[in-house]
Chains A and B, each alone.
Chain A
Amino acid sequence: MITLNHYLIASGLLFAIGLVGVVSRRNTLMILLSVELMLNAANLSFVAFSRYLGHSTGQIFVFFIMLVAAAEVTVGLAILIVMARAVGKTDADALKSLRW
């Protein structure tokens, strides 16, 4: 029997993996992917709670998040391409000219 806790643990693990990816990866593309992973972890727990409480609110929320994520990825990839053209690489450290 798969209970709510199973889903939440899976969601937590997924979130942790995404977090580690954001913190440890250098490539901006990988950071973006990790952020998506974290978003989907949140989605998973939303859906799980929605089912558990018998409420549809959580599912509606997930739709919104997916929509936003799609837009975000579009913008993020566009920035990535511009960055690759301008700097020649896609490392996050490449953009630090605003640092002291």
Chain B
Amino acid sequence: MQLPSLAFLAWTILFAPLVSTLGILLVGLRRPKFSHSIAIASMVTGFLASVYLFIRLLGSPGSVGSQGHGEHPFLEHAISWISLHGLQLEVGVAIDPLSVLMSLVVTGVGSVIFIYSAGYMSEEPSYSRYFAGLSLFAFSMLGIVLANNLVMLFMFWELVGVSSYLLIGFWYQKPSAAEAGRKAFMVNRVADFGFMIGILMLWTVSGATGQERTFNFAELADRIHELAAAQALPYAALSFAGAFLFCGVVGKSAQFPLHVWLPDAMEGPTPVSALIHAATMVAAGVYLIGRCFFLYADLPDLLTLIAYVGGFTAIFTASIAIVQNDIKRILAYSTLSQLGYMVMALGLGGYSAGIFHLATHAFFKALLFLGAGCMIHALHTNDIWEMGGLIKSMKVTSWTFLIGTAALCGIWPLSGFWSKDEILALAFHQDKFLWAIGSLTAMMTAFYMGRLCFAAIFGKPRGHGHSQEAPAVMTGPLVFLAILSVIGGFLGIPRFIHHPRAMHVEFDLGVALISTLCAVIGLGSAWRLYGKPSDLPVRLRASFRWLYSLLANKYYVDEIYAWLIRNVHDRIARLCALFERYVIMRFCVNGIAVTTRAAGSVLRMIQTGKVQTYALALFAGLLLILSWMMVGIHP
């Protein structure tokens, strides 16, 4: 096995997008053709390298299938970065099934979306800046995926936040976009603070075996096994560390109660929403749970908490999606709901189920967003009620969108069916309540997607303007993603991704039938309400007015936060300002100045200006020193 060359490939995957970013920033800002060429080339290079690594991983004995411990990377290559006494930091890549699958998804979906962007953004004046941002994002995301230690992961985690901020606020002239970027960044900062505490706690715990503390994933896993084997696991400390790490997940993967930033992030360009806020970045949190599964596997109570947070987020956000009218917002709430599904799956111990759903969701949600982008591009509106009849004028977009919808709803035999079903079967065997929530969410998902499709794709053309099919550079990616969405369930992802401590359940026909039934009920009721012109939606809205306004206002979460910030945060801030003004400024800073000045005005009296006084003082001092020296000498 030629390890150096494989390590080189891994580094190539990581650094190709950085080269592209720097290239665009240095020479490409006024050369749009150069910008998109280098950006797409870097992603495709990364994708090819990932495919090669994937094949090597499949072909290597002991890495897939029957190995004793799946927590050791197949390949690890690290460079020492900071080496202090008691603190070793390194920058390194780790190649194992999880990271290879993730880098396949990121570079694969990324390449497709980069190509699509070349069409979607073609009339944009800051075209090159857009590609620089996308490349920076790809670099940061691949850094998270390939990192072999927590500190490196954290740095790239923050870089992802920065690039997300830059791309959400890409149209910074628009105040709402600038605000949305800021909101995303702030909410993530709150979460990442917890994440950092978690990392440091885990680092501290890693010293409990008597060895030097470490951030490295493989070593951390070893230490925790060792401690668990010796019955010396510090449960309280580990639980806190795990809970704080989960804070980071809650922020990045937008789980309740920090889900508020993701719908607003839709202010960015649509391909950005597809890549960052649907397929990859928001999945980073799910990936983190998977990466730290060695830790969570020993903390069943924490896992249950995680599962319930995920389940609650899934149903909570799915219900909001039902009443939204903006196509991108519907998809954003749907993303939130599916992320809740993934987190729930990992919380139930379903390592492979969660990661499987992550991958399939990346395919079909990117497809849906790109399709929505085509519609927005053609009709210049985000409102689904101003669309309609697109199936005649935009055939490719509509059909691929319908495939994506079917995959998201979990219709057999599309990819979403297999991954969602694995999660539901897992829930059925472990926690019937979560299973019920999951099934109900599936029904809601089918309903809001059905509503979206009946309003936008079928029916009569509404609104203004004529719709026409997008150019091939945009429909090509749609077709590619549609194919992936169809066959994604048969690629054997769950067999490829596995963890020795993970839960496994067999395919359950009963559960599958029930979930399919849920999807059909959801789609059917959407058809009943929106499939043909009727006044039923209006009547329903009138009779459940309070429920409608509760949902339309997203359960008033944003308003509650605004109230809390105004009344609690601002008051504390005012108190701190008083402390700053009076204690720090008046007492400490100005106090030192006043004291110094007073001491000076007293002490300067000594300077009489008379030479005789100085001479006398000089000799008196000399005499004093001499007599002090004489004391020690015996005559």
Contacts and interface: CB of A to CB of B under 8 A. Distances in A.
A85 interface: no
A88 B607 CA distance: 24
A92 interface: yes
A22 B607 contact: no
A100 B607 contact: yes
Contact of B615 (A22, A28, A98): A22
A22 B620 CA distance: 13
A5 interface: no
Contacts of A23: 612, 615-616, 619
A99 B609 contact: yes
Contact of A96 (B609, B616, B619): B609
Contacts of A26: 612
Contacts of A3: none
Contacts of A28: 611
A24 to B, nearest CB: 7
Contact of A100 (B604, B611, B615, B619): B604
B609 A93 contact: yes
Interface residues of A, number: 14
A100 B615 CA distance: 19
A47 interface: no
A98 B616 contact: no
Contact of A92 (B604, B605, B611): B611
Contact of A99 (B608, B615, B616, B619): B608
A96 B610 contact: yes
Interface string A16-28: 0001001111101
Interface in B581-635: 604-605, 607-612, 615-616, 619
Interface string A86-100: 000000110010111
Nearest to B611: A92
Contacts of A19: 619
Contact of B612 (A24, A98, A99, A100): A24
A47 to B, nearest CB: 22
Interface of A is mostly: helix
Contacts of A41: none
A26 B604 CA distance: 23
A52 to B, nearest CB: 19
Contacts of A31: 611
A76 to B, nearest CB: 13
Contacts of B608: 99
A93 B611 CA distance: 7
Interface string A22-58: 1111101001000000000000000000000000000
A93 B607 contact: no
B611 A99 contact: no
A91 to B, nearest CB: 10
Nearest to B615: A22
A28 B612 CA distance: 10
Contacts of A100: 604-605, 607
Nearest to B605: A100
A92 B610 CA distance: 7
A26 B610 CA distance: 9
A22 B612 contact: yes
Interface in B311-350: none
B604 to A, nearest CB: 5
A94 to B, nearest CB: 10
Contacts of B610: 92-93, 96
B561 to A, nearest CB: 60
Nearest to B606: A100
Tell which of B607, B611, B615, B619 has the most Cβ of chain A within 10 Å. B611
Tell which of A28, A98, A99 has the most Cβ of chain B within 10 Å. A99
Contact of B609 (A22, A24, A25, A98): A98
A92 B619 contact: no
Contacts of A24: 612
Contacts of A22: 612, 615
Nearest to B603: A100
A28 to B, nearest CB: 8
B352 to A, nearest CB: 83
A60 B610 CA distance: 36
Contacts of A93: 609-611
Nearest to A92: B611
Tell which of A22, A25, A26 has the most Cβ of chain B within 10 Å. A22
Contacts of B607: 99-100
Contacts of A25: 612
Nearest to A28: B611
Contacts of B611: 28, 31, 92-93
A9 B604 CA distance: 39
Nearest to B613: A23
Contacts of B619: 19, 23
Interface string A59-100: 000000000000000000000000000000000110010111
18 contacts: A19-B619, A22-B612, A23-B612, A23-B616, A24-B612, A25-B612, A26-B612, A31-B611, A92-B610, A92-B611, A92-B612, A93-B609, A96-B610, A99-B607, A99-B609, A100-B604, A100-B605, A100-B607
Interface of B: 604-605, 607-612, 615-616, 619
The 5 A-B pairs of least Cβ separation, nearest first, read: A96-B609, A99-B609, A92-B611, A100-B604, A22-B615
Given A23-B619, A100-B604, 11 more contacts: A22-B612, A23-B612, A23-B615, A26-B612, A28-B611, A92-B611, A92-B612, A93-B609, A96-B609, A96-B610, A98-B609
